[in-house]
Structure 1
Amino acid sequence: MKQNKYDDEGFFEKYSQMPRSVQGLDAAGEWASFRPMLPDMNGKRVLDIGCGFGWHCRYAREQGAASVVGIDISENMLARAREMTDDAAITYRRLAIEDLDYPAGAFDVVISSLALHYIERFDIVCREVHRLLAPGGSFAFSVEHPVFTARAAQDWHYGPGGEKLHWPVDDYYGEGLRQARFLENNVIKYHRTVSSIMNALIEAGFVIRKLSEPQPTPEMMKANPSMRDELRRPLFLLIAAERQD
């Protein structure tokens, strides 16, 4: 199933108002941890799968990437990315992640930000990314943490006064589709365990170089005291891997 909620105008309008949509990477809670996990991109051919507004594409060029391709299934996302980009070395293309059709070895780096939990067959994507990476190529991505995706509700357990008592984890081993709520809309996500994610990468031929379960920085918590609740459970899982040859 290829989901395209972002071409729903109401949903896209709400997404466009999120801090990370307005302010870019510095407003993304995971960016401080994800940035140092990215490989050296100087002179590299980079692919961003699920590129959204193209923030990571433009960052790759700032880091010296020779060329960047950003793919997304949403025309709305791509239109905004093109509006925000003035760089002939960046190409945006409408393409679902499930339909990657580039030649073997076409890229040196593949990145993805918060897109792969929308994909049903992560194992197939891993094998395809491995195929289109050149020997020694790098794959770095972020997803919602399995502790976060396990329950479709994706919400706290509240006390009688509305206080956040704890984050419930249930059905962790029951992998598969979750009908979640995001921006006041029903959105399909796919839950998988940490071990399933890791093993899919290993079985596809990747060596895992680093993992991160990022916490909010002191600066983030100072600017927004409610961010302290993000210390109580992981929201993101970040992985950096390399093609093994």
Structure 2
Amino acid sequence: MINYQVFLNHLSEYPQLANWSKELPQQIAAGLNESRFGDLPRWKEALAALPDLRPDTIALNTSRVGADGSVSDSQREQLHEALKGLHPWRKGPYELFGVHIDTEWRSDWKWDRLKDAIAPLEGRTVLDVGCGSGYHCWRMRGAGANLVVGIDPTPLFVMQYFALQKYLQDQRVAVLPMGIEHLPEKLQAFDTTFSMGILYHRRSPFDHLIALRDSLRPGGQLVLETLVIEGRAGEVLVPEGRYSKMGNVWFIPSTATLEAWLKKAGFKSPKLIDVSQTSRNEQRSTDWMKFHSLADFLNPDDPNQTIEGYPAPRRATFIAEKP
């Protein structure tokens, strides 16, 4: 079930991506190395247990990405158990043959906040950095993108993508097991690059912004979503220890500071299109993600503060253009 060949053939159709497509098999093998990831055999067993079902309808442009068709009760139960074997499900939601995968994040809410403000995706080549299981990749394809490349170094998310791909059956969408540091330098190939929920995890935000810039063709668009604080230009929160129980949060700028960072990294015309405080309805524990979630990360006496006393998660989305 883990086969990228058709996708690689599509990738080779693009002159700027053809050379990378030749390097990718080795990169993919390294990203899915069982000696590095002990749970991979178990996740592969879950994939193998998925029933063979033929979809009558496929939905990529609705809140619940998924497929539907004739299925028996026993097949639906088999599907449910196999998908549960890929717990935890972080980004979604999905709906497969009557099985609702109620993910930790209502990622459709994030998509709804940005979809009408970005450049139309019709016919574009798109990169989604830190894409998780690929929920937004499918939405991008549903919005008309011609090719969608998702990258995420977490093997479980790649296994979840292949579980979905078994039924969604669209080889112009792929989730690759790697981070942005594995892209060829100065690739300059994508019409649109998304980075959502990644910047605050990077020790060097400028290196990340420059890597995003270098992934884009001239005139390409960046869609950047990240944590922000309220404040003036130049203000940045550098958490001591953890932030919202996350140990890998380095820099949280104000929106004015982030706009300045984008300009300094070489983008033009940065535009703030949304600021939203994350609610407990948007990020929460479910039967498909049973670990702690946002409600456990906030001050129980003041939901506007994290458990550590910092401002509660607030997210901004910018669009910007590569000259």
Q: TM-score, normalised by structure 1?
A: 0.68
Equivalent runs, 1:94-173 vs 2, <5 Å: 94-101=177-184, 103-146=186-229, 173=236
Unaligned runs of 5+ in 2: 1-36, 40-84, 95-100, 283-294, 296-302, 305-310
| Cα offsets for 1:163-206 (capped at 9, x unmatched) | xxxxxxxxx64536742354xxx531122322442222111221
1:213 aligns with one of 268, 271, 275:
275
Separation in structure 1 between the aligned mates of residue 229 and residue 87 of structure 2, nearest angstrom:
25
Instruction: Select 2:127's aligned residue among 24, 47, 64.
Output: 47
RMSD of aligned Cα (Å): 3.6
TM-score by length of 2: 0.53
Match of 1:163 in 2: none
Q: Which of 242, 250, 253 does residue 179 from structure 1 map onto?
A: 242
Seen in structure 2, the aligned counterparts of structure 1 residues 41 and 177 have a Cα distance that, compared at 3 Å, is: farther
Structure showing greater relative contact order (alpha-carbon pairs closer than 8 Å, 6 or more residues apart): 1
Q: How many residues align?
A: 201
Partners of 2:90 and 2:154 lie apart in 1 by 17
CA contact (8 A) 1:143 1:236 kept: yes
User: Which residue is 2:6 aligned to?
Assistant: none
Query: Which residue identity does 2:223 align to in structure 1?
Result: A
Q: Does 1:58 align with 2:138?
A: yes
What is the SS of the residue equivalent to 1:202?
A: helix
Distance 2:187 2:274 in 1: 29
Larger radius of gyration: 2
Q: How far apart are the structure 2 equivalents of 1:25 and 1:31? A: 15
Tell which deviates more after alignment, 119-128 or 70-79. Answer: 119-128
Matches of 1:205 and 1:77, distance apart in 2: 31
Q: Is the 8 A contact 2:228 2:252 kept in 1?
A: no
In the superposition, relative to structure 1, how do residues 18 and 128 fare at CA in structure 2: closer, same or farther (>3 Å)? closer
1:17 to 1:134, Cα distance in 2 relative to 1, 3 A: closer
- Counterparts in 2 of 1:234 and 1:74: CA distance versus 1, 3 Å: closer
Indicate conservation of the 8 Å contact 1:57/1:90, yes or no.
Answer: yes
Q: Which of 21, 27, 41 is the aligned partner of 2:106?
A: 27
Q: Which moved more, 1:100-109 or 1:14-23?
A: 14-23
Q: Which residue is 2:4 aligned to?
A: none
* Corresponding residue number in structure 2 for 1:158: none
- Does 2:272 correspond to 1:193? no
User: For the Cα contact (< 8 Å) 2:130–2:196, is it kept in 1?
Assistant: yes
Of residues 74, 77, 82, the one that matches 2:162 is 82
Q: SS of the residue aligned with 1:58?
A: helix
What amino acid is aligned across from residue 44 of structure 1 in structure 2?
A: R
Unmatched runs of 5 consecutive residues or more in structure 1: 1-6, 151-171, 221-225
| Deviation, structure 1 residue 106 | 1.0
1:236 aligns with 2:297: no
Could you report, residue by residue, the CA deviation over 1:67-124 in whole angstroms, capped at 9, with x for unpaired residues? 0100001001111122113211012211123443265321100012212221111111
Cα 1:23/1:68, change in 2 over 3 Å? same
Aligned partners of 1:108 and 1:137 also within 8 Å: yes
